[in-house]
């Protein structure tokens, strides 16, 4: 080897050594998980985290070649603590990306801070319409749904079944009220009439007086939005009050998702609509469900799927910039344009960053929400009021 070639080879070797040292020195990407780990939505937060971690583990524990480091805050589904909690992740922990949360009121506060600071945020559940409406932003994404969507799709199905007089019941907060609004819009468009809306404060579960009122009014159908521990108690109380036999109960699928073992016989036969079902018979969903069950010894639910897809959306962004989170605009643009190969079926994002997706009709059979049809195909949130 000539002296010159030796030098060139040495220089090349040095370059390779520095760049691989550089790659090794790349710090992990910091992901801030702000989720409920206590209270009525605790199980939902746990499933979201499990789903998110599963996708990352499937990629060898890294996204775009970079390790993922988690920072966690229990938001307790308490909107009053939300701004302080999100600031812990942004200012104290210096996270690169925020993932959260379940409760719409908490998520609205998170989104406000994310918008002000420009921190990328992926919402893995909370449906607050404003997040992909008036509060939308380039750096805010959702892997789940808007509250309007499952309300609307359930309204379509209730009207198709020929029910004319409906009552609604929910917690009096953004998710409950917006879901009922979506239901009412579709149900009344389909020829029905909502005769009365009943509410109680979140997260109360003293349903008795409201169930007595339903029994007295005798509507054709009752539409309910509850989730987590509250949904378990509501479905059991509805049955125990003798109403299940006389007045059909429908709801957005959260009423029976992740809750069936606890609800037992009281949930059997209930019809709901949602962007997921246990028995979507595709290789993608089957692989997801098997992997989840083997990893965690528990079956996934809609929340697990949404957490998994939040990680897929982040991966789509990171892959486009080879893990360089500093190239934020390019990363966000790639997330915006991604087609996500979700267990629910492939989806894309609306211009406001909310999934455009099919809403399935599901019926409870045993411990499963079995898909019996599609309520609305490719339902896009209207994204009212969003200016980006």
Residue number with CB closer to ligand PHB (50 or 66): 50
CB of 298 to ligand PHB, least distance (A): 17
d(C-alpha 20, C-alpha 17), whole Å: 5
- For the chain, what is the radius of gyration of the CA atoms? 23
Among 98, 110, 122, 126, binds ligand PHB (CB under 6 A): 126
Residue number with CB closer to ligand PHB (18 or 38): 38
Number of H helices, E strands in the chain: 12, 15
Residue 312 belongs to what H/E stretch?
helix 302-320
Burial 340-369 (b: 16+ CB within 10 A, else e): bebbbbebebbebbbbebbbbbbbbeeeeb
Tokens of 315: 């991966």
Does 102 bind ligand PHB (CB under 6 A)? Our answer is yes
Q: One symbol per residue from 167 to 206: x for binding ligand PHB (CB under 6 A), - otherwise; what is it?
A: --------x-------------------------------
Does 47 bind ligand PHB (CB under 6 A)? Our answer is no
Contacts of 334 (CB under 8 A, 6+ apart): 316, 317, 319, 320, 321
CB of 335 to ligand PHB, least distance (A): 21
Cis ω for the linkage preceding 326 (within 30 of 0)? no
Which listed range, 109-117, 121-129, 184-192, 353-361, lies at the site for ligand PHB (CB under 6 A)?
121-129
Does 254 bind ligand PHB (CB under 6 A)? Our answer is yes
Residue number with CB closer to ligand PHB (147 or 352): 147
Residue number with CB closer to ligand PHB (104 or 154): 104
Residue number with CB closer to ligand PHB (272 or 342): 272
- Looking up tokens 């379940």 gives 102
d(C-alpha 372, C-alpha 185), whole Å: 23
Residue number with CB closer to ligand PHB (102 or 140): 102
Q: Which residues bind ligand PHB (CB under 6 A)?
A: 102-104, 125-128, 147, 175, 227, 254
């Amino acid at each position: 080897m000539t002296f010159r070639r030796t030098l060139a080879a040495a220089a090349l070797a040095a370059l390779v050594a520095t760049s691989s040292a550089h790659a090794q020195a790349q710090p992990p990407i910091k992901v801030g998980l702000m989720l409920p780990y206590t209270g009525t939505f605790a199980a939902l937060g746990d499933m979201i985290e499990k789903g998110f971690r599963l996708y990352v583990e499937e990629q060898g524990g890294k996204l775009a070649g970079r390790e993922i480091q988690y920072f966690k805050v229990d938001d307790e589904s308490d909107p009053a603590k939300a701004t302080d909690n999100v600031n812990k992740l942004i200012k104290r922990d210096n996270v690169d990306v925020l993932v959260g949360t379940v409760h719409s009121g908490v998520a609205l506060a998170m989104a406000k801070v994310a918008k002000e600071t420009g921190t990328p945020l992926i919402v893995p559940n909370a449906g607050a319409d404003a997040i992909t409406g008036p509060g939308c932003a380039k750096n805010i994404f959702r892997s789940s749904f808007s509250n309007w969507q499952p309300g609307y799709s359930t309204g379509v199905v209730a009207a198709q079944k020929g029910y004319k007089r409906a009552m609604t019941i929910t917690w009096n907060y953004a998710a409950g009220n917006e879901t009922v609004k979506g239901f009412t819009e579709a149900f009344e468009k389909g020829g029905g009439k909502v005769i009365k809306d009943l509410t109680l404060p979140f997260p109360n579960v003293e349903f008795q007086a409201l169930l007595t009122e339903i029994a007295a009014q005798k509507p054709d159908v009752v539409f309910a939005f509850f989730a987590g521990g509250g949904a378990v108690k509501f479905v059991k109380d509805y049955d125990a009050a003798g109403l299940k036999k006389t007045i059909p109960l429908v709801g957005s699928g959260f009423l029976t998702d992740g809750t069936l073992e606890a609800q037992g016989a009281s949930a059997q036969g209930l019809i709901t609509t949602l962007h997921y079902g246990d028995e979507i018979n595709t290789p993608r969903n089957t692989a997801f469900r098997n992997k989840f069950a083997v990893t965690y010894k528990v079956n996934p639910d809609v929340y697990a799927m949404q957490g998994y897809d939040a990680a897929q959306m982040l991966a789509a962004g990171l892959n486009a910039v080879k893990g360089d989170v500093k190239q934020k605009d390019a990363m966000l643009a790639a997330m915006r344009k991604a087609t996500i190969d979700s267990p629910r079926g492939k989806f894309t994002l609306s211009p406001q960053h909310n999934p455009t997706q099919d809403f399935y009709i599901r019926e409870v059979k045993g411990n499963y929400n079995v898909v019996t049809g599609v309520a609305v195909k490719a339902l896009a949130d209207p994204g009212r009021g969003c200016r980006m």
